Amino acid sequence: MYFKPLLSFLLLCATAYSQTVDPLTARQDETESGKLSWLTAQMDEMEQYLSKKVRVVSSNIDHLFHEEEDINATQEGNNTDAQGKEAFLVSAEFNNFFKDETYLDVTNRSYVKLHGGYEYNERGDPTLFHGITARLRLPKTQKQLQLFIGGESDNIKGLTNTAHQDSGVGLKYYMNSLYRGLFAHTSIGISGITNPYVKTNAEYPLYFENWLLRPVQTFKYSVRDKFDEWTDLYFDRKISNTEMIRLLLERSTNSEIKGMNYLSQISYFNAYREDISCSYYVGMNGRTKDLLDTAYMNNLHPQEGIYDYSAGVTWRQRLWKDYVFYQMDPLVSFHEQYNYKPNYLFRIGVDIYFGNNK
């Protein structure tokens, strides 16, 4: 009959003991908390310092804080259609979060991006990758001249045309627009010591009811690859404030390669949280001519028609504030060089981005 009172007494003692704070433990907890706060403050201070340096080196201070306002006013001024503006805003949010190369070119931002990670390829060797990309607006040039370094040519997505992107070292000149909303720039660079090139690019966003249409035309001449040209059509449609569908159609030619290449891809974007966004996509690549003077490693010749079907997911999450991200890219590809058998690829990487984050 004394068992229940005794048990209650023991439980009461245990609870009281567990709530007792050891002064030494408390001091240790305070010390650890202080160290964490100090580390957080140091990281924020470093990011702010480096971002400020990027902006100061690359642009006029007088125009620095008007950049985004000017860009939005220019692009939104093409059309007063409210639904089109909403599609543009949602599209811009996703492009900014994923740091889309074409979007950063249009906004003429200054930034430095460090990236690295690991890539698995079922039919190839696993690799570690790393790189640096920098875009710096030069002072006293009214935002028209930009220095670029590096490139994003290590993207694993089979549907991505890496020739679109500036690589190596060079200068990019942003032209004054003859029409409000027309964006054009010319690049002169060196991608390797023996491969100088020149490239021009023009984009003119248009609104069609619920759709944002972005036609992009590019011409490029390089010593190694001779003459390239390609046309991209982006169709973006807002589903909600956190969802979007994108259809990409592309055609491209090279003066040294017979026929024309074409690409189509449809993507669904979803922002699950403020710091997490995901893109699901399927697409295909094709060509209009057989390439009998070219062969894969297994001695097969590229054939006319669709040569690659792909499907994948891009998961991107902000790890720290607005400048540290990690990204995962699982992808399955059915390519003609493997007799259309599935090839599984997976990449995981980290980006550190300094510059105009907002």
**How far apart are alpha carbons 283 and 246 in whole angstroms?**
12
13 falls within a domain: no
What predicted TM-score, i.e. pTM, was given to this entire model?
0.73
Q: pLDDT value at position 96?
A: 85
**How far apart are alpha carbons 135 and 164 in whole angstroms?**
16
Give the pLDDT confidence of 234-258 residue by residue, as tens digits.
Answer: 999 999 999 999 999 999 999 999 9
Q: Residue 263: which pLDDT band, with cuts at 50, 70 and 90? A: very high
25 falls within a domain: no
- Structure-model confidence comparison of residues 315 and 60, the more confident one: 315
- Tell me how far CA of residue 67 lies from CA of 61, 142, 186, in angstroms: 11, 12, 20
Q: pLDDT value at position 300?
A: 84
Q: pLDDT value at position 68?
A: 41
**How far apart are alpha carbons 292 and 303 in whole angstroms?**
8
77 falls within a domain: yes
107 falls within a domain: yes
Count the domains in the chain.
1
CATH classification at residue 259: 2.40.160.40
29 falls within a domain: no
> What is the per-residue burial (b if ≥16 Cβ within 10 Å, else e) of 171-203?
ebebeeeeeeeebbbebebebeeeebbebbbbb
315 falls within a domain: yes
27 falls within a domain: no
287 falls within a domain: yes
What average pLDDT is seen over the chain?
79
Give the pLDDT confidence of 39-89 residue by residue, as tens digits.
Answer: 666 666 666 666 665 555 444 433 433 344 344 434 444 444 566 678 888
Q: pLDDT value at position 207?
A: 84
Q: pLDDT value at position 255?
A: 93
Q: pLDDT value at position 332?
A: 96
Give the residue numbers spanning the domain of 299: 58-355
Q: Which range, of 8-17, 109-118, 128-137, averages the lowest pLDDT?
A: 8-17
Q: Residue 265: which pLDDT band, with cuts at 50, 70 and 90? A: very high
